[in-house]
Every structure is written in C-alpha cells, then in structure tokens.
Amino acid sequence: MTEQQWVRHADGCFRALVPQARVVACQLPLTLIIAGLYIAAPVAWPGLLDGGLCLSALALHTMLILACLTVPWQRFGPLAPLIVPVADLLVIGLICAANIENLPDPGVLSVLPVVWISASRLSSRASISLSFAGTLLAGLPYVFAPGPAPAQVRLAGVLLLPLMMLAVSLAMRFARAQLRNQQSRMASKETELQALLADSRDRERLLNTILDTVDVGIVAVDAEGHRLLTNSWQSQLEASAARSGVADTVAPDAPDTTEDVPVLTGQDRQTPLPQGRRPIRRALKGESFADYLVYFGEAPAGRVLSTGGRPLKNDDGGFRGAVIVFNEVTGLVEALAAKEDVVSTVSHEFRTPLTSIIGNLDLVLGDAEDLAAPALRRIEVAQRNAERLLALVSDLLLSANSAVHVFPRRTDLASLVEASLGSAHAHAESSKVALSMDVPAPLWAHVDPLRISQALDNLVSNAIKYSPDGGSVRISASTENGWVRLQVVDDGMGMTAADAGRVFTRFFRSPAVREGSIPGAGLGLSITKAIVEGHGGSISCTTLPGCGSTFTLELPAEGPPPAF
C-alpha cells in the first residue's frame, strides 16, 4: 500500500465512525497521557495528587471524557466538538499552574488539542487564533502561581508556548491546504477519467453495433496472428466454413490442406490456396490488397469471397497487425459468369452466319462487272456493315473470355506498326487525318504478333475516330531497360481526367463521345489492356480535353538476332 493509499484508507475508516466515537478518538491520546501521569504520580510526582489544581484538572478531564462519550455531537453542528480541545487547554493550564516538582513541562501537551483544533473545519484564521490564545490563557495561572521563579521569567515561559503552538497550527493548516489541493486535483482527474471511460465505452458500443450491422466479415489480428476482433458476420461465415471443413487458420503450423474436406481454393475452384496466399496470411506479411477472390466449397454450391487486407501501424510506423475484410460475392460472380456465358454463346452463334454473309458479298463484289453502279454501292455498304458487325462480335467474344491467351515470340514491332498504319490508311484518308511513325526498324520484342496488331489497330482506329478533320496521329517507339515503349499520340478531342481514369473499363464511353454519337461499343481499350497485360506489360493514358491523347504501351523487349 502506497503512502497515499494508506492516508486515504485511514481517512475512510475515521469518517466511517459515529460522531461520539470520532470525538473520543481525538481525545484519546491526551486521555492516555494524563491517565499515565496520574497512575505514575504516587511514585514519581506525589504532589500531583495533593494539590487542588491537579485534582480539579483530573475532575475536568474526566468530565470531558464522559461528555465525549455521551453528548449527541451531531445535533450541535460540526464545530461543537471543538469545545473539548479548548477545555483540554484549560486542563493542561491547571496542571501547569500546580507547578509540580520534577514534572517535565506539562505545557507541551497543548500540542494535542492544538493539532485537533487545527485539523478541524474551523477557518484558518480562527483555528490559528484559537490555538494561540487558548494556550496563552491556559498558561496565565502559572504566572501567578506561588513558586521560586520570578514572575517575568514565568511570563517569558508562558509566552514561548503559545508561539510554539502558533507555529504548529500554521504548519498543520499549511499541510491541510496542500492535502486539500491534492485531493481536489485527484478528484477532478478522476472525474475526467470517468468521463473518458464512459466516452470510450459509448464509442466501443457504437463501433460494435456498426461492425455487427454491416454485411461483410471483418477480422483484426495482431502481429503474431492472434485475433483481436471478429465481427458477427465473420463468426457466422467461419462457423459455416468450419461445418464444411474450411479453415483459414493463422496458426503457423496449420496444415496446408486436409484430406477429404473442402479447402480455400483459387479461381479454378480446385487448386487449394497455399497458406501464404490465404487472405489473413497475406495481410500478416504486411501486404495491402483489395478485391482478392477466394473460393470454398464445390461449384456450383460453393461460395466466393472478395477479400481485402490492410496492415495496422503503431505510432512509429511499425507493423502491429492487420485488418482483413471478407465480402461474399457468390451471387455477383455467378451473375457475371451467366452474363458472359450468354454473351459468348450469342457472339459465337452470330459469327458463322456473318462470316457466310461477308464471304458471299465478297464473291458478288469479285464478279461486279454485271452489276449496276447503285447496286454495287449498296452491296459495298452491306459488306462494310457486316464487317463492322463481325468486328464487334469478335470483340464481345474476346472480352467475355476472362483470360486473353497470348503466344509471345520474337517479333519485329516496327513491321507491325507499319502494317497497322497501312490498314488504317483508308479510314484516315476519309477522316482527313495524317498518319506518321517514328519507330526504329527493326524493333525486336517478345510479343504475340496477332494480339499486338489487334491492340495497335484498336489504338490507331480510336486515335483517328476521336480526332477532328485535319488532325494527326503519330506512333513512336523506344527501348529502355529491356522494355519497348510504344506511344500512340493524337491531337484530337482528348478526355477529362475522370474519363481517363475509367477508359480501360469494359463498356465505358466518355459522355462527350456518347453525345457526339460517335459509333463504338466501349470494348476496344479493355481488350487492348488485357492483351498488353497478358504479355506482362502495361498501358497508360495521358490526355487533356481538346488537346489530344497519348496511349503508352510497355512491352517486353528482345535483343537483336544472334549473329550468323
């Protein structure tokens, strides 16, 4: 128990006493000393029992003890018991006046009533004055008592004692004031702490309610992987996963897979996810990720979760755990799969008749001498539109397949660029757009020539399509650090920053393009992105409305052919 705790405990015990007991407790020290004096008197100071003054003192003190025990002090207010220490000073004064031979100065006993008065609720000024005046008055009879010492010596002695008691009283009041200050500071701190505690409890309740209301699973783990928090959605998910034998345990010795039970799998819904690829493990490695799909349970009844993780940092930026979010997207994934199924089936069914239409139109146009000019023009229009339709159907088919397959080999990009500009020539001429290229030949890259041609055709046809008459389109290329950088630059209509951020999203078309009724399906750039990323490369777009756009492709380069 610390000193402060001990003081508090003692104070608490004292306050718990009934008023009489409290007064008796204050009076007890003096009573014990006086009792000791009178018991020892027959042997040590026989005069103590002879003189009238001493006997009066004993009688007065006895009456005081009885009063302490019997008077209902609580009825007379908190200051009433102070009459006892004041009367004690009188008792001590009477013993002093008796001037008993060999008795050590009994005046020092005044310190006990003075301490009592000073510790009471009396105001500082009153308690200090009372301590001084009470001691002084109690000592006065001693000045006039018979004895050998001259009166002025006695007076000096009588004055010294009140001064000492004045000092004691001052010290007591000072200590008491300090204690009060400390107590009030502690009380206000305690109030603040209580308010903070109540506030944090409220916040915790609010947070828990929010966490348990949302339809996503939330898990927080510390740096060792111990759970700090699991919301109710997640608990239900884990309970159902446990029933089907799935565990994303974070225990370091957990088995990767368990025989005979379904486990978390990757996109193919068969290959079990290695421990290091499980969401909680990834987050524990400090990874920050989003939209990471994991599967469990057998298709089609299995479930799909989109997961995300963020590390938790402490004040110095050190890793202290992670928060992982699980969002069930089974319905969404199934709907998307169904939609893509429909799109790819329909597109596939369209292709055969369209190819037949185009083939037959080609045959008719190959034998065009017998045809009248208006009929020829109509057949050419029909052929152009059939080809556009076939291109659209091919795009739809390609974008419906989630993975674009590429077969890279050593390819001269310069010749692909040349071919792409060549096939766009007619389109550019009719749109009055100038085409140019600044590509060193040969420019070797490790790419799939068919797919990259498709990507270049998309970018060049967009650049022409979204440029006004008199515009220009330029393709430039350079090689750096094992990567080829291809840029398709136009000075056409450009886009806002918001449009540029969504330009690679499927079916996105900028509002300006929609309003301008420029034809298109919003698939070309998403396919181009998939092709470039299929090569391990990247594509980006910088643009400004009215100032044109630049599409930059990074593709893996390949050095010159080995010398013969």
State which residue, 414 or 513, has the beta carbon closest to ligand ADP. Answer: 513
Region near ligand ADP per CB under 6 A, out of 61-69, 114-122, 127-135, 516-524: 516-524
- Of 442 and 516, which has the nearer Cβ to ligand ADP? 516
Strand (E) positions, 314-430?
A: 319-328, 409-412
| Cα angle 82, 83, 87; round to 5 | 120
Minimum distance from residue 540 beta carbon to ligand ADP (Å): 13
Q: Does 463 bind ligand ADP (CB under 6 A)?
A: yes
Binding to ligand ADP (CB under 6 A) within 10-49 occurs at none
Burial of 170 (0-12, 13-18, 19+ CB in 10 A): middle
Closer to ligand ADP by CB, 62 or 540: give it.
540
- For residue 174, how many C-alpha atoms fall within 13 Å in the half-sphere facing its CB? 6
Q: How far, in Å, CA of 4 to CA of 301, rounded?
A: 67
Span interacting with ligand ADP, options 42-50, 202-210, 413-421, 457-465, rule CB under 6 A: 457-465
Which residue from 329, 333, 508, 542 is in contact with ligand ADP, where contact means CB under 6 A? 508
Q: How far is the CB of 415 from ligand ADP (least distance, A)?
A: 23
Residue pair 166/132 in contact by the 8 Å Cβ criterion: yes
Question: What's the CA gap between 131 and 553, in Å, rounded?
Answer: 97
Taking the complex as a whole, how short is the minimal distance between the CB of residue 224 and ligand ADP, in angstroms? 47
Instruction: Confirm if 205 and 198 have CB atoms less than 8 A apart.
Output: no
3-state helix vs strand vs coil in the chain, percent to 5: 60, 15, 25
Residue 434, helix vs strand vs coil: strand
Q: What are phi and psi of 239, to 5 degrees?
A: -65, -40
Closest CA to 463 of 481, 437, 484, 443: 437
Which of 72/519 has CB closer to ligand ADP?
Answer: 519
Contact window for ligand ADP (CB under 6 A) among 35-43, 376-384, 419-427, 506-514: 506-514
Nearer to ligand ADP, 157 or 520 (CB): 520
In 3-state terms, what secondary structure has residue 217? Answer: strand
To ligand ADP, the closest distance from the beta carbon of 455 in angstroms equals 11
CA distance 184 to 177: 11
Residue 448 Cβ, how far from ligand ADP at the closest point, in Å?
20
List the beta bridge partners of residue 411: 445
Complex with ligand ADP: residue 232 or 542, whichever CB lies closer:
542
- Residue at 242: amino acid letter: A
Comparing CB distances to ligand ADP, the nearer of 29 and 520 is 520
> Which residue matches tokens 């057998």?
298
Q: Does 520 bind ligand ADP (CB under 6 A)?
A: yes
Please give the distance of CA 532 from its chain centroid, rounded to a whole number.
38
Q: Rounded distance, CA 5 to CA 15, Å? A: 15
* Binder among 21, 521, 544, 547 for ligand ADP (CB under 6 A): 521
Rounded to a whole number of angstroms, the minimum distance from the CB of residue 464 to ligand ADP is: 9
- Sole binder of ligand ADP in the list 131, 169, 411, 462 (CB under 6 A): 462
Which residues, in sequence order, are CB contacts of 222 under 8 Å at separation 6+? Answer: 228, 320, 321
Residues shown for the chain: 564
Residue placing its CB nearer to ligand ADP in the complex, 135 or 347: 347
Q: How far is CA 205 from CA 198, 208, 211, 212, in A?
A: 11, 5, 10, 10
**Does 503 help bind ligand ADP (rule: CB under 6 A)?**
yes
CB-closest chain residue to ligand ADP? 520
Q: x/- contact string, 523-562, with ligand ADP (CB under 6 A)?
A: xxxx----------------------x-------------
**At closest approach, how far in Å is the CB of 356 from ligand ADP?**
25
With respect to ligand ADP, which residue has the nearer C-beta, 127 or 462? 462
Rule CB under 6 A: say whether 411 interacts with ligand ADP: no
Residue 492 near ligand ADP by CB under 6 A: yes
Q: Which residues bind ligand ADP (CB under 6 A)?
A: 458, 462-463, 466, 490, 492-495, 503, 508-510, 513, 520-526, 549
